[in-house]
Amino acid sequence: MIHTSVPGHPEHATSGVTFRPNAAADVVGGLWCPVSPRAVSQGAIDLAQHEALDWSQKTGLVRSPGEWAWAAAWNVAAFAARVYADADDLALAAQWILWMDVIDDAVETLTPAGTMALLEPLTCVFVYGEHRPDGCSADSLAEPLADLWRRTKAGMSETWCDRISRLWQQCAAAMPWEAAIRAAGKPPPLDDYIHHRATAGAAHLALALTEGLYKYELPDALHHSGPLNVLRMLACDQICWANDLFSLDREVQRGDVLNLVLVLEQAPHGLSRTHALETTLHMANERMQALMLLVDTLPAYQRALRLHPAERTLMDQAVDTIEQWVAGSLEFHRLSTRHTDHYMGRTNPFRSHVHPMVPNGYGPGFQEPCDAE
């Protein structure tokens, strides 16, 4: 469901940005993607959803009936079925998405120091795995991650595991930047936003996890090849900027300024809200167009480099992974209620899902809906 209007909901100013209910609803229909996500049976989705929620309780990621109900509404298995359709274990893919959603909401109100404190135990998991030193604390986010990481890296090479660990560390290094921007209450410059958005949003990490979930692996030479590097960048930008259109109302109402529409609107010589929406749509579609044009050149690239058939097969599989992530993410955004949960009249319990040792946990300037419970 795309943002529904809220009868009687007044416009109001938050962090200097005007809230207009349903502001992007007329624009998101213009998002272009010529790729169709593969279908997964509803029975498989339902089973994966049940297993993901059961896992979240057993591992302590979800700690109360309120958190369980909120997590269930995210429909993480439906998302996994669209972006990880060929996963050996769809439930494992859904569990990764559920964990990432919890992290995404948990850091939303933290200061930079609080964000770093929250993420440090998670970095220990990626770096040390089952052999974490005594200094690495265990908490309700690290222990579920340890289980996910153990199962995902099974059968994968040390090189691949190191690659994922580095991607996580890049993501964790970028998240405090987001926290500082939120605390300041002012959108960042456009070039800074483009540079940080996909990394801090874990888009590169989520895309790279596909290999571990599908149990195939690119050698370094292919992974870092020019076309695949550029395709990943284009895809992650498109995914994040499309997300910005769908989540605009939610973020503005909550005082979150990390959104491309708001970056364009608040920049020097800034755009009107209507023009900023149209420009964000154009930028997302430009990335999609560039991605598809680059894909068309790959046969010539493979011939020019005289890639062996096995290398071509791996590259084709990587390209399919990228295309499916873009297509699946867009389709799920059109159906998901995750970006309309601010209309529920209840406090998101995961926005306070922080480790007891996090210093200065909550940043200023954030508004919660009234708790109806």
pLDDT in tens, 272-307: 999 999 999 999 999 999 999 999 999 999 999 999
What pLDDT was estimated at residue 254?
Answer: 84
Section 45-69 average pLDDT: 94
pLDDT at 146 over 80: yes
267: confidence class by pLDDT, cuts 50, 70, 90: confident
Terminus-to-terminus CA distance in the chain, angstroms?
A: 24
Which of 349, 350, 334, 341 is CA-nearest to residue 79?
334
Q: What structural domains does the chain harbor?
A: 40-349 (1.10.600.10)
Number of alpha carbons in the 13 Å side-chain half-sphere of residue 253 = 23
pTM of the model: 0.86
* pLDDT tens string 115-132: 999 999 999 999 988 777
Token output for 61: 């990621």
Apex 66 CA angle, 62 and 71, nearest 5: 55
Q: What is the pLDDT of residue 109?
A: 85
The total of other beta-carbon atoms located within 10 Å of residue 347's CB is: 16
CA 347, CA 367: separation in Å to the nearest integer?
10
Structure tokens given for 226: 């020019």
pLDDT value at residue 3: 27
- Given a cut of 80, whether residue 246 has pLDDT beyond it is yes
pLDDT at 16: 42
Considering only 83-87, 255-259, 357-361, which range has the smallest mean pLDDT? Answer: 357-361
pLDDT at position 14 is 34
pLDDT over 60 at 5, yes or no: no
| Model confidence pLDDT, tens digit, residues 207-235 | 999 999 999 999 999 999 999 999 999 99
Position 219 scores a pLDDT of 94
DSSP, collapsed to helix, strand or coil, labels residue 283 as helix
> What residues are paired with 110 via a beta bridge?
362
**Interval 64-106: pLDDT, tens:** 898 999 899 999 999 999 999 999 999 999 999 999 999 998 8
Q: pLDDT band at residue 338, thresholds of 50, 70 and 90? A: confident
pLDDT at residue 295, rounded to an integer: 98
Extended beta strands in the chain, E state: 13-14, 17-18
pLDDT interval class at 268 (50, 70, 90): confident
Judged against a pLDDT cut of 60, whether residue 155 lies above it is answered with yes
Q: Distances in Å between the alpha carbon of 228 and those of 19, 167, 220, 318?
A: 39, 16, 11, 8
pLDDT greater at residue 27 or residue 279:
279
The chain-wide mean pLDDT, for the chain, equals 86
| CB distance 56 to 293 below 8 Å | no
What's the rounded mean pLDDT across residues 7-18?
33
pLDDT at 22: 54
Residue 342 predicted with pLDDT over 90: no
Give the pLDDT band (50/70/90) at residue 350. confident
